[in-house]
Structure 1
Amino acid sequence: MNPVSRGRKPKKKTSRRERRDGTQQNPPDVLFAQMVREVGHGLERSDEPLDAELCVSELLGQGWKQPGVDPEVADVLGEGLIRRTAGRRAPGALALLRVLAELAGPGQREPAADSLAARGVRAPGWVDQLGDWAPAKAWAHGDVYGDQVGVAVGFDRSGSAPHAVMVLVDHALGGVVKDAMVVDDPEGTLREARQFGDEQLTWLREIPPAEARAMLEPAFAATEELVLAPLSEQLRETRALALARLRLLPEPADEVVANQLWDDDPPEAWRAAQRLTAAGVDRHDVLHKLAEVAAHHTHAVLTMSEPVDPDVLRADLDALAAPTRRRGRRP
């Protein structure tokens, strides 16, 4: 398998087309119909779920953070695909719906797939293996300057070749994700990194998968806030898959934040949790805000090989506040 998907990309159409009955199809409908047809046929011929996920991830990335593309238009790409796919009684259509549901997150977009399956459509055999990956070894690497940090997580499954998702976080740009890719030889990639690294200028450390999630979730969240994003095309293609794999990792709040709250060390963590809860932030978001602070200090420990500065950690926890509400757009 290549590091990233090399499948065909759907071709965009700008002209109107006539149906057989003489009525007109709008360009978005023509585009969605062509995407569903071409991708569906490809998924029917596929025998490896990872290849299918890469193909659909690439498809979803076509409108994400693209110059000149309205973000609201890009957001409906997946919904448009679902609407068009749900009406096709074909194995490839059901496969596409299952992959879209897997990349979208647990419980999302499943009704359309279930409805198509209830009508007697059978998906390819590999669909049953979607999401059945288990996180394995994770590691982080960077240089002594700390501008960029790479985080990689390997995934294993019985009967399938392992792969790893590698993400580059650029702290010089505010801690955003600058690139991401999928490699099919995690151990070989790790050996090469160890072989060609400069011990005086670079570092490479194995980290728990939960720590990898703690480092990457804030980075992906920061990337979503970018307007003019210096992102690679490869990131657009692999972003949906990388986020799906990220959800398979243990919650970072189970290592770091839970211990802080339980031990009341530092006490600022519990005070921050109470303050955010009183401001209306739900429990899940409170834990993630605390985890973001922990991830920031973990990054400093990894890059500078120095212990956490307790005074700075306490100050960052005291600075946590509930997000202000954004004003709605005028009609």
Structure 2
Amino acid sequence: MTPKRAGAARPRHFGEHGSHPVDEHPLAYIGDMLRLDHPLDLLAVGSSMAWVMDPKQVELGPEPERTDRTALLESLLAHDDPATTALLGVFALVLDDELARRRCMTELAGRRWSTPPWFRALGDAVVARVAESVDPLGDGDNLYLQLHWPTGQVLTIVAYIDHNLGSVVKDAFAVPMEVEEMIDVTRPHVDDRGITFVEVDPAAARARVEQAIDWSNRTVPPLESDTWPVIQPLLRWALRSLPDGGEAPEPSEWEPEELDTIVGRFLASPEAVGLDAADADLVDHILWYGTSYGSGDPYRWGPPRVEILLLDWVPRKIVAPFEELARLPIVLRAFIRWAHGEAGIPTELGAETLAVIDEYEDDYLAAIADEERAQGMDALLEVFGFPVDDDQFEIDWEARWAERVRSSHVRAVGGEHAYQALDAESLPDEPLDLDVVPDDIRGRVQHVGCLVDRVCDEFFGDVEMRTACRRFLIDSASGDPAVFRRRSKDEPLAGAVCWVVGNANGRLHHGDTGQMLSVLGLKGSVSGRAEPLLRAIGAGDIFSSYDPHLGTPRYLTSGRREDMIRRRDGR
């Protein structure tokens, strides 16, 4: 339980002044969450902030403008108001540093703000139920952790473990309802897919999810959604309340004799009619992938697994003549029909998996026909964007990384000449230049500009970012006015402008996008709204959330350009 200060001093209430006026505190909206009837919003914000300032995170590419945890914690401890009190209550639970958690608890014991019962009982939550939804195709499973507070609130955290990506947590979120309610809501959508719900041993669930989180954190590029990985501190806190000592499942080990038996049974089955002895090698390849990757179950094949096999694994891993590999889709269709029959997979699900083979067969054939395609170590280097080297055993990784960063910066500013000519002068405080915008959309662009300014003022707090966003908005509107003639809301357009420029300047990290969009009352993703804006300035083919290039320094702040110059000059 969150400690309370002893004594008869009258508790302070919202709106009273501590060391700083409540309405002047930049985090005042967090204090307002103490007025709610449920802790979810506060837990979500606190978890996001704990994740963003986690010093153990390692970012690839340009150094991020990460919040220093020590500095933020000291600030929260020094300012006594509802917002800092609320955050300290969450940090006392979710921070991974025990000493930091104890400092939060000690400070809370001396705070006198009137807080709701659920806040004072925040640390008394118990995991009342652990359940799992099991996918018959083996693509992934949802783990449900149902938390109860003595004050009556309920919260369920759902973690999706994706087996095709290596049994990693791909997504997680929290909802204020019981597991049974969630099952009732989802059952109409999953009953015909053979998905079942089962209870799970709490200790085993803890071991399994913690392992999946660790593997997820080592995945490159990182897995991200609107709620993952920023919910990770909250999920880890819930897991810590489960008993330890459980064991995560180990990958199945298949003996050669067992695999030979599977091959023999398949080739002798009616599904294999029309195949010949030469196709046995292809069955071996299918079983190699089926037993060593994904779920490790050679009898369960879902659409994602087939897609990975055809478009990535075989072209990258298997060295064989085109004529031999070209028969793989034929053999795979027959094998999946047989394997699904052996596993009792519903025919409807099998049809969906087989349809994926039809969908990607042409792409697969094109991939294996490419004699220049990278394979083995060369393919691994290519995935990370490194140039392939014939001498694979004497790789200067530091030089390779520096070369990749340099190449990324050159693309970001539009070429070598622009890269060498970079300066670090601050962007001026420019007005919105509507003169170049067609008359019929000028009013709308001006309104979008006002929304953009609000985000820049309230979230970024940076005049240079405001100028960069205004430039991008005007260039997009003048480059393709049709984007602004379509009937749609202005807030998503403004959010897309800020999302693009924020990413290009390295200003949006884990969890920041949701907080930024909340300024405009938005939830979810605006990447789809950003695509036509990017095409309007000619950056549609070079911008992505992992390589956010706009092809010009025009939209880059002095801090971003200074970082590029420092790396360019070796400083």
| TM-score, structure 1 as length reference | 0.59
**Superposed counterparts of 1:76-95, under 5 Å:** 77-95=68-86
Identity across matched positions, percent: 22
Task: Say if 1:94 and 1:123, in contact at 8 Å, map to a contact too.
Answer: no
Q: Give the gaps of 5 or more residues in structure 2.
A: 1-23, 253-294, 301-341, 344-397, 399-571
Where in structure 1 are there 5+ consecutive unaligned residues? 1-33, 254-290, 307-328
* Distance in 2 (alpha carbons) for counterparts of 1:229 and 1:61: 14
Aligned partners of 1:240, 1:234: CA distance in 2, in Å?
11
CA contact (8 A) 1:135 1:248 kept: yes
In the other structure, the counterpart of 2:103 is 112
Q: CA deviation at 1:114?
A: 4.8
- The answer to whether the aligner puts 1:206 opposite 2:199 as a matched pair is yes
Q: Deviations over 1:250-308 (max 9, x none)?
A: 2143xxxxxxxxxxxxxxxxxxxxxxxxxxxxxxxxxxxxx23x3656x879x9799xx
Q: Which residue of 2 aligns with 1:231?
A: 224
1:54 is paired with a residue whose SS is helix
Q: Is the 8 A contact 2:134 2:197 kept in 1?
A: yes
Secondary structure of the residue that 2:27 maps to in structure 1?
helix
Structure 1 residues 48 and 89: alpha-carbon distance in aligned structure 2, compared to 1, 3 A threshold: same
- In the TM superposition, residue 217 of structure 1 has moved relative to its aligned partner by 0.9
Distance 1:134 1:147 in 2: 30
2:159 match: secondary structure: strand
CA-atom RMSD in angstroms: 3.6
1:144 is matched with which residue: 127, 136, 146? 136
Structure 2 distance, partners of 1:113, 1:251, is 25
Show the counterpart of 2:27: 37
Q: Quick one: distance in 1 between partners of 2:132 and 2:236? A: 17
Q: Which residue of 2 aligns with 1:97?
A: 88
Q: Using a 3 Å threshold, how does the CA distance of structure 1 residues 116 and 132 change in structure 2: closer, same or farther?
A: closer
Give the counterpart of 2:162 among 154, 170, 176.
Answer: 170
| C-alpha contact (below 8 Å) 2:157/2:174 kept by paired residues | yes
Equivalences for residues 1-331 of structure 1 within 5 A: 37-62=27-52, 70=63, 74=66, 77-105=68-96, 107-114=98-105, 116-117=107-108, 121-122=112-113, 124-125=115-116, 126-185=118-177, 186-198=179-191, 201-253=194-246, 291-292=247-248, 294=249
Deviates more, 1:205-214 or 1:95-104: 205-214
How far residue 190 of structure 1 moved from its aligned partner, in angstroms, is: 1.5
Larger Rg: 2
Greater relative contact order (Cα 8 A, min sep 6): structure 1 or 2?
1
Q: Please list the CA deviations of residues 9-64 of structure 1 after superposition, one character each: whole Å capped at 9, or x if unmatched.
A: xxxxxxxxxxxxxxxxxxxxxxxxx9863355334544533332122123334567
| d(CA) in 1 for partners of 2:151, 2:122 | 13
Residues in 1 aligned to 2:62 and 2:50: alpha-carbon distance in whole angstroms: 13
Question: 2: distance between equivalents of 1:206 and 1:190?
Answer: 12
Moved more, 143-152 or 47-56: 47-56
Q: Classify 1:149/1:222 alpha carbon distance in 2 versus 1 (closer, same or farther; 3 Å).
A: same
For the residues of structure 2 that align with 1:247 and 1:118, how far apart are their CA atoms?
23
Paired AA for residue 48 in structure 2: E
Distance 1:98 1:60, change over 3 A: same
Partner Cα distance (1:118, 1:102) in 2 = 14
TM-superposed CA distance for 1:219, in Å, is: 0.3
CA contact (8 A) 2:85 2:111 kept: no
Measured after TM superposition, the shift of residue 165 of structure 1 is: 0.6
Distance of 1:230 and 1:207 partners within structure 2: 25
Checking the alignment, whether the CA contact within 8 Å between 1:39 and 1:96 is kept in structure 2 is: no
Distance 1:44 1:202, change over 3 A: closer
Residue correspondences, number: 233
Q: Contact 1:92/1:123 (CA < 8 Å) preserved in 2? A: no
Change (3 A) 1:162 1:193: same
Structure 2 SS opposite 1:227: coil
Letter in 2 for 1:216: V
**Residues 227/89 of structure 1: CA separation in 2 closer, same or farther (3 Å cut):** same
Inter-partner Cα distance in structure 1 for 2:105 and 2:143: 36
- Shift in Å at residue 163 of structure 1? 1.8
CA contact (8 A) 1:102 1:244 kept: yes
Per the TM alignment, residue 171 of structure 1 is displaced from its structure 2 partner at its CA by 1.2
The structure with the largest strand share of the pair is: 1
Q: Distance in 2 between matches of 1:42 and 1:238?
A: 21
2:147 aligned counterpart, secondary structure: strand
CA distance in 2 between partners of 1:69 and 1:140 (Å)? 39
Q: How big is each residue's C-alpha offset from its partner over 1:44-93, in whole Å with a ceiling of 9 and x where there is no partner?
A: 5445333321221233345678876747x64x544332121111022432
Q: Is the 8 A contact 1:151 1:167 kept in 2?
A: yes
Q: CA contact under 8 A between 1:166 and 1:180: conserved in structure 2?
A: yes
Q: Deviations over 1:151-206 (max 9, x none)?
A: 11211223323221101111111111111011222221122344433466433322
